[in-house]
Amino acid sequence: YQEWEQLSRRVDAHSHYVQMAATIAHEVRNPMTSVRGFLQLLAKKMEGGEHQMYLDVMQSEIDRMNAILSEYLSMARPAQGSEQVDLASLVRETFLVLEGEANYRGVQLGLELEEGYRLEGNARELKQVLINLVRNAFDAMNGTDGKIDIRLHGGVIAVADNGCGMNPEQMERIFEPFFTTKAAGTGLGLPVCRKIVESHGGTLEVTSVPGRGTVFTVRFA
């Protein structure tokens, strides 16, 4: 599998575990897809019945498992090579991808843009970084009045949220592969983000106040 090699190159610490995880992720997907198919069939047959809700929940839980596996495997995909990336366009496009999800979650997603910064790199990977950071911010929201701002100034992108924040012990560990505080977390999001940003010559930093919120800063210049 080419995917294994890619994975181990990206996350060189713990590479053995990452390879194992990728194998499992890949292999588990096929039986899951068939279960999903039969569930859908059953749901159709039992439409309107008293147990339909169970089937709906099962389907959406399988979709969630599938999403987790996709996250693992997406870092296995080889990079598409290098291109001129216009940071403002990239941030704008990513914002559009996330806007619907923000609405659905009742989170206010703000955008502040400064045009003009370009860099050599891989747009797909850089988008993945931003999407990861904002999805983490979604997960950090507690209750109402959730707010996330994406700000681009020069070669610096900040993702700021008013979510649960992190204590210093937690902050020390979030870039470790497999560190997660979420029931369905992978703990791979941030280590992969940092790898991608550093492979573009940038840095990924975090500041956070428990109970107040968190700011992740991607700095290319």
The site for ligand ADP (CB under 6 A) is made up of 136-137, 140, 161, 163-166, 170, 174, 179-182, 185-190, 214
Tell me the closest approach of the beta carbon of residue 66 to ligand ADP, in angstroms: 15
Tell me the closest approach of the beta carbon of residue 86 to ligand ADP, in angstroms: 26
Nearer to ligand ADP, 33 or 170 (CB): 170
Q: Which residue is nearest to ligand ADP (CB)?
A: 189
Tell me the closest approach of the beta carbon of residue 93 to ligand ADP, in angstroms: 21
For the four alpha carbons of 113, 114, 116 and 122, in that order, the dihedral sign comes to negative
> Angle at the Cα of 72 (from 71 to 77), degrees rounded to 5?
90
Nearer to ligand ADP, 56 or 145 (CB): 145
Nearer to ligand ADP, 130 or 188 (CB): 188
Nearer to ligand ADP, 118 or 147 (CB): 147
100-107, Cβ contacts within 8 angstroms, sequence gap of 24 or more: 101/135, 101/138, 102/138, 102/148, 105/138, 105/141, 105/146, 106/144, 106/146, 107/138, 107/141, 107/146, 107/147, 107/148
Tell me the closest approach of the beta carbon of residue 43 to ligand ADP, in angstroms: 29
